[in-house]
Amino acid sequence: MPLNTSFFTKSLPQTLAVIRLTASPEGTTLSELMQRLSLNRRSVSRLLQKIERKFHIPVTMRKTFGGPATYYLPQSFIDGLSVVKIPSMKLTFEEALLAYLLTIHGKLPVNDDFANLSMLRDRLMKAVKQP
């Protein structure tokens, strides 16, 4: 299935925010995601589904009795990102995630509107040019 690049240009900041929030040890609730992203319940739910389906990132839901459901990334997935390394480069969580997305889909449009992509591109270019 070809990658729809409009998803990156329209939703990349929101997607990274969801992944960052679900990567925390305590995870996040649907209400918190709605508030942080200024989106309605349906939009947040669809974004969570896209993250799982398009990027194969396992967002897990944990229900507690009498409390809201919590969404989180399994620790095994987060630990797996730590193996995304480039010689003489230590990537941040977000940079490793972007590198992971590159390996899943083969390409990721780099747009200077997104500072993190631009910084990752610059760091990768410097690492490749090093002898």
Looking at the predicted structure, is the pLDDT value of residue 52 above 50?
Answer: yes
Percent of the chain with pLDDT over 90: 27
- Residue 76 belongs to some domain of the structure: yes
**Tokens 């630990």 belong to residue:** 79
> CA-based angle 102:103:104, to the nearest 5?
95
Q: What is the pLDDT of residue 46?
A: 93
Number of folded domains that form the chain: 1
Q: For the chain, what is the mean pLDDT?
A: 75
Residue 46 is given by DSSP the state H
Q: What is the pLDDT of residues 12-51, one digit of tens each?
A: 778 888 888 998 888 999 999 999 999 999 999 999 998 8
- Residue 1 belongs to some domain of the structure: no
Q: Is 2 exposed, middle or buried (0-12, 13-18, 19+ CB in 10 A)?
A: exposed
- Residue 25 belongs to some domain of the structure: yes
pTM: 0.61
Residue 4 is given by DSSP the state -
Q: What is the pLDDT of residue 29?
A: 95
Looking at the predicted structure, is the pLDDT value of residue 4 above 60?
Answer: no
Give the C-alpha separation, 118 to 96, whole Å: 14
- Residue 95 belongs to some domain of the structure: yes
Residue 111: pLDDT band (50, 70, 90) is very low
- Residue 130 belongs to some domain of the structure: no
Q: What is the pLDDT of residues 72-88, one digit of tens each?
A: 999 888 887 766 555 56
Range of 93's domain?
6-124
Give the C-alpha separation, 96 to 82, whole Å: 7
- Residue 24 sits in a domain whose CATH number is 1.10.10
- Residue 131 belongs to some domain of the structure: no
- Residue 10 belongs to some domain of the structure: yes
